Structures are given as structure tokens and as C-alpha cells.
Amino acid sequence: MAEKSIVFFDIDGTLLDHQKNMPTTTKEAIFTLKDQGHEVAIATGRAPFMFTDLRKELGIETFVSYNGQYVVFRGEVLFKNPLNNAALQSITDMSVANNHPIVYMDHEDMKANVPHHDFIVESIGTLKLEHFPTHDPDYFKGRDIYQSLLFCEENEEASYEKEYNEFDFVRWHPLSVDVIPAGGSKAIGIEKITQKLGVVKENQYAFGDGLNDIEMLRHITNSVAMGNAHPLAKEAAKHVTNDVSDDGILHGLKMVGLLK
């Protein structure tokens, strides 16, 4: 291989199937890429502590987490973009008034501003994590928070969007939206890594399926949406592969010529 290539993979619905399992062909394809000298990285909305085991399993030390707000390159922190703390206090006040719980997330942990709420249990439960947010309403004070989760039903985030131009709101579940710094995205986090590596656009690849992948899929020259992807993600990508459960990663890597 004359020039270095890098491939970014989303996790949920991309590396992991609908039951949060990794298809055998996906794991084999990742190791084949690495054996061929390609750089393999993760680009996810998840917190770093939510995919530690996955990184170990695949031997991946480069990742974009929190939709671009916390970026690590070969084990070293490369870029951090925390939420505005004053605005976070303000949106917390608004969420409390609306009875919408909120979870604060830094690079090590996540804490909820309420002891219990069914929306938190139901939405975070779909991720099938061992880690679950405990109660600490002051967790955001005096520390960098890279993403919050606001728990409200669909379209209820509109009032927050009007009020807070410091934040972007990206829905990931019918009961929850990611709250990230305005203009933040996986694409920006990815750019920090590709600049560090000096990889030309023609040798950049990305796979994703969700609304939080749209900027990444638009930005990356060789982008692939999963067959199970949101229609807007498919529209943003250059290619569409099979469903994650139907050898979607392996098929997509063959489509773009990285594997035979």
C-alpha cells in the first residue's frame, strides 16, 4: 500500500448489530484492514467509558467520542471541546422546570440530575451497558462536560433549540437527545485525526448509520451508510451497503475497494 488510509466506524448500528453484538465478518474485516496497514478508528456519540471493552477487543486506540467533542489519537488526548458551563446551568434550570431529566457526561463518568426517571432507564437501557448514570445534580460544576443527554419526547426539544444557540441537539432515541456544543460533530473530530496523520481525503473512509453521522458521511470522501441507516444518513453518504446484520461492513469495504 503506497499511502496510508484511515477508516472510521460508528458503533451502534454499524460495528454492533441491532442486538449490540458484533458480526463475525465485521470483526474479521477489521483485523484484515489492520493487517494490511490501514489505520482503523472509531467515531461515536458514546462516551469513552462506554466502549472500553470494544476498543480492547479490536485493538483500537484512536477514536472520536461524544460526536467529536473528545478525540484520542493512539491513546493520547488530541482534542477537547466541552459544553459552555454557564449555558449548561441555564438549560438545567429549564429542564427542571419542564420535568425533563438531564445527564452530564465527562470523559470518565456520567451523572443524572434526578435519582430515577423512566425515560433514562428506557433509553440508556437500549445501549445494553454495564455502566448506568448515578445521581449527582452538581456533577457539571467545576469540570469539563463534553455532552449531556436531555430526556424528552420527540419535538419537545424545539423549545430548547430556540433558547440555546450555544448547543446543538441531536436525537438518538425517541426519549432522548444529545446536547453538544454548537457546530460540534464527528466530522470536526475526524479532521483533527486526519490532519495529525496527514492522510489525504482520497484515503479517508467512514461508515455510519445515524443522524449524528450525517456530517461525517458528507465530509468524508469515501463514506458508506449502512443498509439499516436513517434515510438522511443514506442521502449524505457516497455509498450504501447492506444491513449491519447482513455482512454490511464486509460488503461495504469491498464496495470501496479496501477489501477483496
- Residues 73 and 141: their CA atoms lie apart, in Å, by 27
Give the sheet arrangement for strand 222-225, strand by strand: 76-80, 70-73, 63-65, 39-43, 6-9, 204-208, 222-225, 239-240
- Residues 187 and 14: their CA atoms lie apart, in Å, by 17
- Residues 260 and 251: their CA atoms lie apart, in Å, by 10
Please check whether residue 168 is in contact with residue 181, taking contact to mean a CB–CB distance below 8 angstroms. yes
Over the Cα atoms of the chain, what is R_g? 18
Helix (H, G, I), strand (E, B) or coil at 65: strand
- Residues 127 and 241: their CA atoms lie apart, in Å, by 23
Q: Name the strand (E) or helix (H) holding 208.
A: strand 204-208
Has 10 been annotated as catalytic?
A: yes
Q: Residue 77 carries which side chain, given as an amino acid letter?
A: V
- Residues 38 and 252: their CA atoms lie apart, in Å, by 16
First vs last Cα of the chain: how many Å apart?
14
| 16: DSSP letter | B
Identified catalytic residue from 10, 106, 209, 247: 10
- Residues 159 and 95: their CA atoms lie apart, in Å, by 10
Catalytic residues: 10
